[in-house]
């Protein structure tokens, strides 16, 4: 098959959402490479990766004095230009969609009303949402980082607060954001604090300015706060509430955080929802990006989804209401989990999604 033919087929494949079919995609260079070529380019690629931030510290062998290279592929993965431009064109509309949904109380409540009965973490986030909503929004500006990390419109002498884990493993990309801010706007100060430190030191002024260690915070960038274990005590929950009540620009705000919940994503795919927030022509295009998303709520449709997953677990992903990766359930483990919770309200804390199988191509994984 010629490369152009394969690209055409790949475009039709993606646009048709045939995600459970397997497509073989040629590499961007002829493979395999000779041993002599690999001996020359692999060390150079690893050095380049380390010098450009592709490093991390691993949980199982954590050492603050050691930085290891994150695994990466030697060559880029070809992707059809037509589909790339298609999603690029839609991204501003998706940003607007998420913003509107984040501030639609009735829709969010309808999406999450069952989930917050069985998922304590989501329930605590919802409680903060309710509190801030009743008090009135202190900051009308929201900062959304939708796959691209940029900071705009920050005043001179401002302080940006990075909310970080107690121990940071994925340090390089965080520091690159920090250093780039310093390069572009040296008058802006960046500080790093975990939720416990914020809970013990943060204060709100009468006009709801956020003060941390005697510094007024302009922007709060959450690099943690997406998992229950990052809120071990009430101190951390109080820290989150204090931030949300403040005038500081949040990234994400509690509104955006809840709008990104898996249950909300599943409800967004329901007929007629996108048209509520977007122009019908745009909504039709955005709908093409969705794969199958299924509710596991009690009832006939939820029961059918469970039976479907039990019959062919390899075709699905079971998703809890969590962010940050590492929480999804695959393969035969789906059947094990569903058998345990199928008669329990706990099932409503999950959604089911068609498993997306990207095109397969040959490459070299460096680690």
In the chain, the percentage of residues whose pLDDT exceeds 70 is 90
Q: What is the pLDDT of residue 78?
A: 81
Q: Which residues participate in the annotated binding site?
A: 174, 262, 319-328, 330, 353-356
Q: Which residues participate in the annotated binding site for substrate?
A: 174
233 or 40: which leads in pLDDT: 233
- Condensed to tens digits (0 to 9), the pLDDT of residues 3-30 reads 333 333 333 333 334 444 556 777 888 8
300 found inside a domain: no
346 found inside a domain: no
Residue 257 C-beta-side C-alpha neighbours within 13 Å? 26
Q: Which residues participate in the annotated binding site for ATP?
A: 262, 319-328, 330, 353-356
The domain of 19 spans: 3-79
Number of domains in the chain: 2
Q: Are residues 136 and 199 in the same domain?
A: yes
Q: What is the pLDDT of residue 182?
A: 87
Residue 156 predicted with pLDDT over 60: no
Q: Are residues 62 and 198 in the same domain?
A: no
Report angle CA 250, 167, 156 to the nearest 5 degrees.
Answer: 35
Categorize the per-residue pLDDT at 323 as very low, low, confident or very high, splitting at 50, 70 and 90: confident
Q: What is the three-class DSSP state of 256?
A: helix
Secondary structure percentages of the chain, helix, strand, coil, to 5: 45, 15, 40
Q: Are residues 40 and 147 in the same domain?
A: no
Among 79, 100, 128, residue at a domain's last position: 79
Q: What's the CATH code of the domain at 157?
A: 3.40.50.1760
Q: What is the three-class DSSP state of 338?
A: helix
How many C-beta neighbours within 10 Å does residue 255 have? 23
Q: Are residues 213 and 123 in the same domain?
A: yes
Categorize the per-residue pLDDT at 347 as very low, low, confident or very high, splitting at 50, 70 and 90: very high
180 found inside a domain: yes
Q: What is the pLDDT of residue 142?
A: 82
Q: What is the pLDDT of residue 28?
A: 80
Q: Which residues participate in the annotated binding site for Mg(2+)?
A: 323
Categorize the per-residue pLDDT at 325 as very low, low, confident or very high, splitting at 50, 70 and 90: low
Residue 152 predicted with pLDDT over 70: no
- Condensed to tens digits (0 to 9), the pLDDT of residues 65-106 reads 888 888 899 998 887 788 889 888 999 999 999 999 999 999
């Amino acid at each position: 098959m010629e490369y152009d033919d394969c690209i055409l087929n790949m475009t039709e494949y993606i646009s048709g959402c045939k995600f459970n079919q397997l497509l073989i995609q040629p590499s961007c260079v002829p493979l395999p490479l000779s041993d002599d070529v690999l001996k020359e380019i692999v060390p150079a690629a690893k050095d380049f990766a380390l010098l450009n931030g592709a490093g991390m510290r691993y949980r199982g062998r954590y050492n603050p004095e050691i930085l290891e290279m994150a695994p990466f592929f030697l060559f880029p993965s070809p992707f059809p230009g037509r589909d790339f431009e298609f999603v690029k064109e839609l991204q501003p509309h998706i940003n607007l969609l998420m913003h509107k949904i984040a501030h639609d109380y009735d829709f969010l409540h309808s999406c999450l009303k069952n989930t917050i009965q069985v998922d304590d973490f989501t329930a605590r986030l919802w409680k903060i949402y309710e509190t801030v909503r009743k008090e009135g929004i202190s900051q009308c500006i929201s900062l959304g980082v939708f796959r691209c990390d940029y900071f705009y419109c920050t005043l001179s002498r401002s302080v940006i607060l990075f909310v970080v884990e107690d121990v940071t493993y994925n340090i390089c990309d965080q520091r690159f954001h920090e250093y780039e801010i310093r390069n572009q706007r040296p008058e802006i100060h960046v500080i790093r604090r975990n939720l416990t430190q914020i809970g013990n030191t943060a204060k709100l002024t009468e006009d709801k300015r956020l003060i941390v260690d005697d510094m007024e915070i302009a922007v709060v960038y959450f690099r943690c706060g997406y998992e229950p274990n990052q809120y071990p005590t009430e101190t951390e929950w109080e820290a989150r509430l204090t931030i949300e009540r403040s005038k500081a620009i949040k990234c994400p705000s509690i509104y955006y955080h809840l709008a990104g919940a898996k249950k909300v994503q599943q409800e967004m795919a329901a007929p007629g929802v996108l048209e509520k927030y977007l122009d019908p022509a745009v909504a039709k295009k955005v709908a093409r990006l969705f794969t199958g998303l299924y509710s596991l709520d009690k009832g006939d449709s939820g029961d059918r989804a469970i039976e479907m997953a039990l019959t062919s677990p390899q075709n699905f992903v079971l998703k809890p209401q969590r962010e940050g990766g590492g929480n999804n359930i695959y393969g035969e483990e789906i059947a094990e989990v569903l058998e345990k919770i199928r008669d329990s309200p706990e099932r409503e804390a999950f959604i089911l999604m068609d498993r997306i199988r990207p095109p397969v191509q040959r490459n070299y994984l460096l680690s």
